[in-house]
Amino acid sequence: MSKLMSSRIAYGEALVDCGIENNQVVVVVADVSSSVKTDFFEKRFPERFFNVGIAEQCLVNVGVGLSLEGFIPFVNTFAGLLLRSFEQIRTCVGYANTNVKLVGSYAGISDYKDGATHYSICDIAAMRAIPNLTVIVPADAVEVRKFVPKIAEFTGPVYFRISRADTPVIFDDSHQVTIGKGQIIHEGDDLTIIAIGVMVERSIRAAQLLKKEGIKVRVINMPTIKPLDQNLINLAVHETGAMVTAEEHSIVGGLGGAVSEYISQVHPVPIEFVGVYDTFVETGLNHEYLLDHFGMSVEDIIKAAKKVFKRKNEYH
């Protein structure tokens, strides 16, 4: 297996670099600085760092206030806890279209020791339903590092979702990221797997195993869930005719929802979803175990791929 790297550390370091580049960048956090690694920024730029205490609604609105005066606030807590500020995010960030960068760390089920209260398996669904919000889920620590400066430069509210786990590194330093663009990272024309986050690496493994069985799978890394890279999806729909989505999130309303909403309007093809099957996930001994036992194993991806491939052939 590939080398593991920590996304939250990559984030903390990238944020410091951003702070060096641009003195408009400020950081706000709600008493989880040492966990989400904004403590690096605090050390370097104590005057541009603000800890609001355990007060997530205040957290978001402090970011809103800073953005109204021209600063670029990165607002940080656990993804699951940011949901407490959902209304602030809808009204004061989305509706008011303020330049706030919301960073949900410990996302998905990566905070495996803390259980369902600390997981976030419906955050993508919630955030992407808010007009004006851009939603980004990096696939590995390299993408985290590459996206942070892009997000700082970008004008408009962003939700950036980061894992607590040390996850497999997929990309090398030459990797380029663009907000709103996905990319093909494994070629094939029998079916397409669109994946985000830690599921990208698992999807590559699934594609490699399926290749041995003669099924040629295209894998797309789709870090921007909103706005979706419609061209890339269109191409995949026409060239492969079957889709699987894979995400560390509920199958309700996340990547699977976004992709199927789109293709059902332009060119419906069979689609299968890999993710958490609409249930609360229990506490675990490690992240991998939970992924493997709650519907997100490589085997689960393979099953979904075979099923959709069969459906595609029945279709025609």
Partner 1 sequence: MKYYSENLILKLNNYASQLRMDALKMIYERGAGHPGGCLSCAEIISTLYFYYLRINPRNPHWEDRDRFILSKGHASAILYAALARRGFFEIGELQTWGHPNSRLQGHPDRLKTPGVEMTSGTLGQGLSIASGMGLAAKLLNAKWHIYVLMGDGECQGGVVWEGAMMASKYHLSNITVIVDYNDVQLDGACHEIMPLEPFVKKWQSFNFAVIEIDGHNIIEILKAFDLSKEIHDKPTVIIAHTTKGKGVSFMENEAKWHGVAPDEEQYRMAITELKGGTNE
Ligand X SMILES: Cc1ncc(C[n+]2csc(CCOP(=O)(O)OP(=O)(O)O)c2C)c(N)n1
Phi, psi of 26 (to 5 degrees): -130, 160
Contact 80, 121 (CB under 8 A): no
Q: Does 227 bind partner 1 (CB under 8 A)?
A: no
CB closer to ligand X, 20 vs 54: 54
Using DSSP's 3-state secondary structure scheme, residue 220 falls into strand
Q: Which of 13, 56, 143, 201 binds partner 1 (CB under 8 A)?
A: 56
Q: Does 31 bind partner 1 (CB under 8 A)?
A: yes
Rg of the chain over all Cα atoms, to the nearest angstrom: 19
Q: Which residues bind ligand X (CB under 6 A)?
A: 31-32, 54, 56, 81, 84
Q: Does 299 bind partner 1 (CB under 8 A)?
A: no
Rounded Cα distance between 108 and 158, Å, is: 18
Q: In Å, what is the CA distance from 51 to each residue of 33, 47, 48, 86, 204?
A: 8, 11, 10, 19, 39
Q: Does 9 bind partner 1 (CB under 8 A)?
A: no
CB within 8 Å of 147: residues ≥ 6 apart = 136, 138, 160, 177, 179, 223
Neighbours of 19 (CB within 10 A): 21
Q: Which of partner 1, ligand X, none is residue 1 near (CB under 5 to 8 Å by kind)?
A: none
Q: Which of partner 1, ligand X, none is residue 166 near (CB under 5 to 8 Å by kind)?
A: none
Quick check: is 56 catalytic? yes
Nearest one of 295, 135, 106, 277 to 202, comparing CA atoms: 295
As measured in angstroms, the least distance from the Cβ of 23 to partner 1 is: 24
Q: Which of partner 1, ligand X, none is residue 52 near (CB under 5 to 8 Å by kind)?
A: partner 1
Q: Which of 293, 310, 313, 315 binds partner 1 (CB under 8 A)?
A: 293
Q: Does 34 bind partner 1 (CB under 8 A)?
A: yes
Q: Does 35 bind partner 1 (CB under 8 A)?
A: yes
Please list the active-site residues: 56
Chain residues that interact with partner 1, rule: CB under 8 A? 29, 31-35, 39, 51-58, 80-81, 84, 113-118, 282-285, 289, 293
